[in-house]
Amino acid sequence: MAGPTFDQHDGEIWYDGAFVPWADAKVHVLTHGLHYASAVFEGERAYAGHVFKLEEHTKRLHASANILGFELPYTAEQINNATNELLSRAGLTDAYVRPIAWRGSEMMGVSAQKNTIHVAIAAWQWPSYFAPEERLKGIRLDIAEYRRPDPRTAPSHSKAAGLYMICTLSKHAAENKGYADAMMLDWQGNVAEATGANIFFVKDGQVHTPTPVCFLDGITRRTVIDLAHKRGLTVNERTITPEELEGFEECFLTGTAAEVTPVSEIGPYKFVPGALSKQLMDDYDTLVRAAGAAAIAAE
């Protein structure tokens, strides 16, 4: 992304209950969340100045924190109000919003139950996660070396910072080979997700997607499933093996950042972005922008 690095933006960040200059939103080098990944976050998207499904995102932020064993010192209403005010103060319309909560620096060690819990929210203007022309023709995915872990070994249903380490490694490896992203398998070798988005397939007019056993049941994922049902489509949430990829006709990713993004290739497997993928992409675009317009009308 062109422009200043993320520590040098203009504007404000909501930090522990107050709006502070962007450059002043800092943590100490011995912050527990930095060393031991005791941090949870959300990725949110604003359309026409309003976050799509803000309440669901904030509810998940609280739930993620609880899974990691801490409580946020702010209510959902306080966080929602802070998010809305942040967008308004910055004059942002189509934007990305990043709330994050983490354990502070009172204790440095594996155990830090009494550390202060901090919360911050940042927002910035952000275009589509993938370039528009790339999105329409379908992006290319590698198959990641790392797998999503057994849910008995990691807090899979928390949007926790530590779970994204292998995502960064896998996306970097894919980009170094010329791909846009990577598809990850689960610990049993079945299809899981991309590094930051859920995955769907199309065959014979039906939609297929992995059951979210060891990864997040994304808010965009659930929204797209609802849109598919409204179209009268059958959605099969099930175990999908890599060998099945050869028989699927279409493939697309869903996520707050990715929205609905068609896929043309996963390793040796080829797909053609077709009518069903494009229809759901258009339906999602229409829904989120209508929600933004409705929020403005309600003000």
**Category of 257 on φ-ψ map: left (φ > 0), alpha (ψ -120 to 50) or beta:** alpha
**Pair 196, 163: CB distance under 8 Å:** no
DSSP three-state, residue 279: helix
Residues of the chain with CATH 3.30.470.10: 12-125
Question: What is the CATH number assigned to the segment(s) 132-289?
Answer: 3.20.10.10
Q: Determine the pLDDT at residue 297.
A: 73
- pLDDT of amino acid 151: 96
- In this prediction, residue 133 carries a pLDDT of 62
- Residues 83, 54 contacting (CB under 8 angstroms): yes
E strands of the chain, at which residues? 12-15, 18-21, 39-41, 44-47, 50-51, 95-103, 117-125, 139-143, 181-185, 191-194, 198-203, 206-210, 235-238, 250-255, 259-266, 269-270
How many degrees, rounded to 5, is the angle at CA 286 between CA 281 and CA 288? 95
Q: pLDDT truncated to tens, each residue of the chain (299 aa)?
A: 456 899 999 999 999 999 999 999 999 999 999 999 999 999 999 999 999 999 999 999 999 999 999 999 999 999 999 999 999 999 999 999 999 999 999 999 999 999 999 999 999 998 765 555 667 789 999 999 999 999 999 999 999 999 999 999 999 999 999 999 999 999 999 999 999 999 999 999 999 999 999 999 999 999 999 999 999 999 999 999 999 999 999 999 999 989 999 999 999 999 999 999 999 999 999 999 998 777 777 77
Which residue bears the tokens 């009172």? 106
Give CATH 3.20.10.10 domain extents, the chain: 132-289
Decide: helix, strand or coil at residue 159: coil
Query: One of 159, 171, 230, 270 is an active-site residue; which one?
Result: 159
86 Cα distance to chain centroid: 20
Who contacts 283 (Cβ-Cβ below 8 Å, separation ≥6)?
227, 230, 231
DSSP codes, 254-279: EETTTEEEEEEEETTEE----HHHHH
Contact (Cβ atoms closer than 8 angstroms) between residue 44 and residue 98? yes
CATH architecture of 12-125: 2-Layer Sandwich (3.30)
Catalytic site includes residue 159: yes
Centroid of chain to Cα 251: 18
- 92-107 pLDDT, tens digit per residue, is 999 999 999 999 999 9
